[in-house]
Amino acid sequence: MKLLRYSLKHEPRTLARLGVLIAPDRIADLRAGYALHLMERAGNPKGRELAAIYMPPYITEFLHMGEPAWIALADAYTYLSDLAAVRPDAPGFSGEPLFLPLADCRVYAPIRPSKLIAVGRNYPGYTQFPGKAAGKIPAGFIKTLSSITGPVRDIIKPRITQKLDCETELAVVIGKKCKNVREENAYDVIAGYTIINDITARDLGALERQAGHLFLGKTLDTFAPMGPWMITRDAIPDPMHLRIQTRVNGETRQDGNTRDMLFNIPQLIAHFSQMTLQPGDIIATGSPGGGALSNPDWYLNAGDVIESEIEGIGILSNGVVDEPLV
């Protein structure tokens, strides 16, 4: 199941709501659909009130409600799937459309985490470069919330950098509050997966490393495009065998597989859950080799279009623009 946050293109962002991809080119409105299910099929006169609770506008809020929300989601998805098969133009209880063309919608970053943990040096393709040898524990860092942007949004190339790079990563979405998770239980705390494009200002990062830290080079505005949706854990039976690709203007810049991670997903969750993880928190699991570290002609420029693709999840697409003069 692919959950997303969307609005119609003519609507303001404040009307963004929770949806599910019911077909490759079609979104179902989960709140309207669940309300209709409760009132028509279950005979519950408080369907709209309950739908507003269990189908909030943010996936993170949904995850915080735990098992009751997942049960409601399963009921809503089954009802909407059945209805779409026989009445693809069916309206909601108040006449609102239940099923919307994806092309008519604006899709936002699916998750607003309390923390976005990124992992570096987690593939053999990166450990070959000077100063990037793998350590005995995962090399993690935090990307700020202001770095998050959604699909089809522009990545801003700051004036401070001439060496902008991109890296496609499988992002694990935590589904429940947890701490000190054992590796054998790690998958139990996962809600699903999404795609993150880890944008880096390599030249700024190099200067920061000389000062003994790395921060702005990884966390400037729009440096963490995410999406286009969160796919639920059950839809990806083996996340450790997924092909990862990055294309810029149609040219392949990265082509790897999650099986090559140096620290696998259970190991990453066990390590980072030494601090409390909240529902909606994200662990971006690192990126295979390639990109501009392999070819200096591959640094990004305004006008470039990046496609970050992960097998079974989809494609996250973003353009690059220069930072405007102010």
Tens-place pLDDT, residues 222-233:
999 999 999 999
Alpha helix locations (H) across 182-312? 202-210, 216-219, 265-272
Q: Count H helices and E strands in the chain, helices first.
A: 8, 19
As a whole number of angstroms, the distance between CA 198 and CA 220 comes to 11
Mean pLDDT of 5-15: 94
Query: Could you check whether the bond before residue 228 is cis, i.e. omega within 30 degrees of 0?
Result: yes
Pairing of strands 224-232, 2-8: antiparallel
Summary mean pLDDT of the chain? 94
Rounded to 5°, angle at Cα 71 from 66 and 72: 100
The domains found in the chain, sorted by start residue, are: 2-107 (2.30.30.230), 109-322 (3.90.850.10)
The per-residue pLDDT for range 163-208, each reduced to its tens digit, is: 999 999 999 999 999 999 999 999 999 999 999 999 999 999 999 8
Provide CB contacts within 8 A for 11, sequence distance 6+. 106
Number of Cβ atoms within 10 Å of the Cβ of 147: 20
Q: Are 33 and 92 in contact (CB under 8 A)?
A: yes
293 close to 157: Cβ distance less than 8 angstroms: no
Select the more confidently predicted residue: 159 or 94: 159
3-state class (DSSP) for residue 30 = helix
For residue range 245-263, list pLDDT tens digits in order. 999 999 999 999 999 999 9
Helix axes 67-86, 47-54, angle to 10 degrees: 120
Q: Please give the model's pTM, rounded to 2 decimal places.
A: 0.95
Q: Model confidence over 266-300: pLDDT tens digits?
A: 999 999 999 999 999 999 999 998 889 889 999 99
CA-CA distance, 263 to 257, in Å (whole number)? Answer: 13
**Size of the chain, expressed as the number of residues it contains:** 326
Q: What is the DSSP letter of 110?
A: S
Asked whether 132 and 271 are in contact (CB, 8 A), the reply is no
